[in-house]
């Protein structure tokens, strides 16, 4: 009768053999998942570190994208899209001497903090008699530079490409193809009001 080897263990089929050698790396529970144990191979540790850094990178990118998107989302959902024009009070009637052309500035009443310079607008305003006014957008109809008023010459001059408009806003010289945009003006309760878009107008005259 042969004696059982002391260092051998019973394995399948009633035979004896050496105990299975546990891998040095891998899940400590032996389930075969990718978790590494201390003392695992360098390759697996590197792979785990790479995975970790990958997760961190994806997380940071997601966070950055979310932060960058907050103003856009806010603009889309907090501010109703507006194309209608708004009456802006620019002063009282007596603030404006007859036959004098002055620059008036106004801010979009529905501007939001991130509107920036787009919330600001301006017009050239002239009081033509006791109760009547005429107003022009300050923006040149060529590519939108603000024009200045030269009272001595009675002309609007655009500094960008030499556009020139007469006191009625008609093109006199330079590349502009259209007159200055006329803005509606009204007097209400002693206030002078200009009808203007939320953003500066450089296109055709409003109908
Ligand atoms: Fe005024 Fe070009 S923008 S002439």
pLDDT at 167: 96
Q: What is the dihedral of CA 25, 29, 35, 36, to 10 degrees?
A: -30
182: Cα separation from own chain's centroid: 29
Q: Average pLDDT, stretch 124-152?
A: 94
pLDDT at 116: 72
Q: Using an 8 Å Cβ cutoff, are 108 and 86 in contact? A: yes
Q: Average pLDDT, stretch 121-127?
A: 94
Tell me the C-alpha distance between 198 and 185, whole Å: 16
- Secondary structure (3-state) at 11: coil
- Secondary structure (3-state) at 88: strand
Q: Using an 8 Å Cβ cutoff, are 179 and 98 in contact? A: no
Where does ligand 1 bind, in terms of residues with CB under 6 Å?
140, 142-143, 145, 158, 160-161, 163, 174-176
Judge whether residue 147 has pLDDT over 70.
yes
pTM summary value: 0.57
Judge whether residue 1 has pLDDT over 50.
no
pLDDT, tens only, 151-188: 999 999 999 999 999 999 999 999 999 999 999 999 99
Tell me the C-alpha distance between 55 and 58, whole Å: 5
**Residue to mutate, 138, 140, 146, ligand 1, most ligand atoms under 8 Å from C-beta:** 140
H/E segment holding residue 43: helix 42-78
User: Ligand 1: which atom is nearest the Cα of residue 174?
Assistant: 4
């Amino acid at each position: 009768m042969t004696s059982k080897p002391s260092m051998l263990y019973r394995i399948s089929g009633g035979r004896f053999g050496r105990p299975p050698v546990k891998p040095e790396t891998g899940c400590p529970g032996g389930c075969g998942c990718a978790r590494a144990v201390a003392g695992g191979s360098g390759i697996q540790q590197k792979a785990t570190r790479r995975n970790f850094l990958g997760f961190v990178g994806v997380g940071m990118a997601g966070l950055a994208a979310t932060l960058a998107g907050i103003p856009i989302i806010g603009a889309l959902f907090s501010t109703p899209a507006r194309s209608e024009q708004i009456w802006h009070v620019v002063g009282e009637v007596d603030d404006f001497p007859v036959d004098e052309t002055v620059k008036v500035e106004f801010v979009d009443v529905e501007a939001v903090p991130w509107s920036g310079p787009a919330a600001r607008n301006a017009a050239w305003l002239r009081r033509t008699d006791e109760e009547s006014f005429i107003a022009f957008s300050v923006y040149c109809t060529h590519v939108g530079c603000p024009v200045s008023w030269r009272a001595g010459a009675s002309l609007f001059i655009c500094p960008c490409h030499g556009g020139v408009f007469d006191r009625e806003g008609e093109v006199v010289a330079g590349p502009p193809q259209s007159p200055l945009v006329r803005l509606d003006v009204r007097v209400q309760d002693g206030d002078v009001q200009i009808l203007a878009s939320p953003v500066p107008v450089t296109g055709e005259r409003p109908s």
